[in-house]
Each structure stands twice: as C-alpha cells, then as structure tokens.
Amino acid sequence: MSIRVAIAQINPKLGDLPANLGLYEEKIRLAIKERAEFLLFPELSLTGYFLRDTVPSVALTMKSVEMKKLKQLSREIPFVAGLVEESADHRFFNSSVYFEDGEVRHVHRKVYLPTYGMFDEQRYFARGDRIRTFDSKFGRMALLICEDLWHPSTIYLAALQGALAVLCPSASPLRGIVDDQVQDDNARYWEMLNRVYAETFSLFMIYGNRCGFEDGVGFWGGSEIVDPFGQCIAKAKYYEEDFIVAQVPFESVRRKRTMSPLLRDEDIDLTINELMRIRERPTQRKVVQKFKNSKVQRVEKAKGRKRQPSGISRKVQ
C-alpha cells in the first residue's frame, strides 16, 4: 500500500485553542486539496508548547467540544493532533491522538517527559505508561512523541509490535550552534536518529516538528519522512512554516525486511531474560535492602532492642 502523507509544520499560538483549531482546519483543507490521505500535526500544536500553568485551561477531555470538532474533521482525512488530554481522574497528559473516520482510534500519552535544562514537562504533565501500536486503515503504526524517541526502548517495542511506520510529533527547540553546519546541533542529532531508526528497524519515520518562537525559544522545523533504507524522501524547511506532502510506499518495508530480516531474527526471550536480570542488579537490590534495614531498625527500636550498626547489618544480609 502506498499513501500520500502530509506534514503540517505550523507555528501555533501559545495557549489559544480557538486560534489553533482554526489553523488545524486550514491545514486539513490544504491537505485535502493536495490529495493527501493522512496528515500529521506536531506535538502540542493545538495548544502551544511552553504552556506551564495554562495546561489545565487548554486540556481536552474525550467529551470536549473541540474533540468532537476534531472527530468531525477526520471524516474527511485521518490525522494526528497534538494536544493536552485530561483523563477522567483529572491528570493531564501530553498526548497525540489519531483520528480516523470520525473517531478517536488511538491515543499515545507521552511517556518520557523531559524535565531538565530548558524543559519542565514533568512538573505539568502526568506520564504515559504504555507503548502500543494501532491499526490504521493504511496499516500498523506507532505514535511516539518527541523525547520518547530518545529512549530506544520505545521504538524497539513499536517495531516488535509490527509498526510499519512510526509517527513522531515533535516540538523540538533549536539549540547549539556549530560551525560549518547548516542546521543547529539538535536538528543534526534528530536527523541522524531518524535515519538510524528507519534503517535499523526497517520502517518509515514520519517526523513532524513545529516552527516559530515561544519566549525566545525557536523550534527548528525540518519535518521529514525517512524510508526504511534511511533515505529522506521529503523534507520541510528549517525554522519556518511549511507544509510537505509525499508518497509513502509501505511496500518498501517488505523489500527492506526481505533484504535484511533483522526484526525476524530479534531474540525477544534473550532481551527479556537479560532485562529481568538487570532489574535485579546489585545497585537496585542495595536500595531495596537499605529500605528493608531501616524498617527492621524501626521495629527493633520500637521493641527496645539494641540496634546493630547499619553497616554490619547490611553485610550480614
């Protein structure tokens, strides 16, 4: 199967849902005009990225009117929206939602929330707890949001579940100036990652980044589609708004996997066994034991017994 994929590299207004919903509608109309069959929007592009305390005010529940509107729009073309999702128990997630034929077909809640340097996501968002693929009408795909992909386990799990394409909505800020390089250093790293992942896991990387500035932080754009051979088949401009459309021939996944059946040869049991062993590694066990010790000591203290020096008790155990 081959489909025409579009990526809307947009510059949303920070915290302005109605304005951004308008922008979504505009790009959906454009995608239809361009005869695209699927459209990817960047991470949090319905809300803006550095939301901070506006997170609860722009959050959508599955019953929100905006959600209904998005469902309705998906009758014309399936798309992925990037938004703040509020769960029934009022947790807020940095989610990307796949809409198809008027329904929500899949929700991915960002698992790895960067909270270091310029990022503060874990302060505002709850963490997703699953990596699942889903069956779109074009085939099996996975949605992984930005930082998720900086943890190779996420794409490994997606590939093992049969994803033919990984959709990656991103809000990646420009940082790090390097001499003699057309793009900033973060863009360079992402581009390398997309090519390595596409080729290593024999799948399509469909990467949609945003552009524009928020409080002086620029997003580098440069959205792209990389095929299973590691070739970039569509590339958006750096640093400014763009809209790209490209034919994505899913059959090339078959060709690549025939030539190098790396996924077929993947030994899941070995990985699981090793992970189980690693989970029991001494450093982790020490933490658990220390905790046990302190509990024992508290109980002993309560009983009026003489405490053993903690170092000795740890050795004994």
Q: Which residues here bind another protein, judged by CB under 8 A?
A: 11, 13-16, 50-54, 174, 177-184, 212-216, 218, 239-240
Cβ closer to another protein: 221 or 228? Answer: 221
Q: How far apart are CA 285 and CA 245, in angstroms?
A: 51
Asked whether 42 and 9 are in contact (CB, 8 A), the reply is: yes
Q: For residue 169, how many C-alpha atoms fall within 13 Å in the half-sphere facing its CB?
A: 28
**E-assigned strands of 36-113?**
38-40, 79-86, 92-100, 103-109
Cβ closer to another protein: 26 or 240? Answer: 240
Q: How far apart are CA 245 and CA 24, in angstroms?
A: 16
Q: How far is the CB of 104 from another protein (least distance, A)?
A: 28
Q: How far is the CB of 184 from another protein (least distance, A)?
A: 7
| Tokens matching residue 266 | 């993947």
Cβ closer to another protein: 55 or 126? Answer: 55
Q: How far is the CB of 143 from another protein (least distance, A)?
A: 26
Q: How far is the CB of 72 from another protein (least distance, A)?
A: 26
Q: How far apart are CA 83 and CA 93, in angstroms?
A: 8
Cβ closer to another protein: 18 or 304? Answer: 18
Those residues with Cβ within 8 angstroms of residue 273's Cβ, 6 or more apart along the chain or in another chain: none
Q: Which residue bears the tokens 């990656």?
A: 168
Q: How far is the CB of 19 from another protein (least distance, A)?
A: 9
Cβ closer to another protein: 129 or 179? Answer: 179
Cβ closer to another protein: 108 or 210? Answer: 210
Those residues with Cβ within 8 angstroms of residue 8's Cβ, 6 or more apart along the chain or in another chain: 27, 30, 31, 39, 40, 41, 42, 45, 208, 243
Q: How far apart are CA 123 and CA 106, in angstroms?
A: 25
